[in-house]
Amino acid sequence: MRQNIVAGNWKMNNTLEEGVTLAKEVNEILKANKPNCQVVLGAPFIHLTEVVKTVDAELVGVAAQNCADKASGAYTGEISAPMVKSTGAQYVILGHSERRAYYGETNAILKEKTDLALANGLTPIFCIGEVLEEREAGKHFDVVKEQIEEALFHLSAEEFGKVVLAYEPVWAIGTGKTASPEQAQEIHAFIRQTLANKYGAEVANDTSILYGGSCKPSNAKELFANPDVDGGLIGGASLKAEDFHGIIAAF
């Protein structure tokens, strides 16, 4: 059965002390206000072990923001999926638009990362989405379909069932723009149909598809009301506990 999920992506923000403080604040709020969805905190690598210790696993999951496409070896500065797993984190964000744009991550690289994440018992939150030029050219359906096919469609139905998707309208990240609820529903429905064409309706209906583009407390309820929007991958609004809870409370 698919879950509603609100996942925070802290990106490159917060010192270790600040991150632990934020995790405590989120945890305390959720202890007092039990969430109606799965909540995940996507922390920097150096935070993971401490954040895992800080939160109640019944209330909050923890995600790394990336992992390497190699299991181990002479890859200075990289963090492998087994390393992420050893911190106690349960999730890993893969293919974020910033990783694709700034660090040259291709669908082929992300295929390897996904395989390693799954092999190590991590749940990938796999990001897909188009840039402004692709949206304006009417290529957004083709772009997300290609991203899914090239990076994920080698998986068996059982393996794919362990993946969470996050649709990012890249043109709406950090710009203050937001896809309208109608635009979000349209492409989420397309993504789900793409999954159904490959794996069948049961797998498609069981897959959580999150919206990841400037989601805020003020628009979360309207976005999450769409039948194919199962939550959000939250950037800036996840850096303040009250704002993050405002989005969680939309469920």
Contacts of 213 (CB under 8 A, 6+ apart): 129, 167, 168, 169, 170, 171, 172, 173, 177, 178, 179, 184
188 among known catalytic residues: no
Instruction: Name every residue whose Cβ is closer than 8 Å to that of residue 74 and which is 6 or more positions away in sequence.
Output: none
Helix axis angle, 16-32 to 241-248, nearest 10°: 40
> Has 96 been annotated as catalytic?
yes
- Among the options 47, 168, 188, 245, which is catalytic? 168
| Candidate list 96, 140, 188, 245, residue with the active-site label | 96
Answer positive or negative: Cα dihedral of 219, 129, 207, 227.
positive
Q: How far apart are CA 221 and CA 52, in angstroms?
A: 28
- Which residues touch 194 (CB under 8 Å, ≥6 apart)? 144, 145, 148
Which pair of tokens denotes residue 94? 């893969």
- Burial-class residue 225 by CB neighbours within 10 Å (0-12, 13-18, 19+): exposed
Active site residues: 96, 168
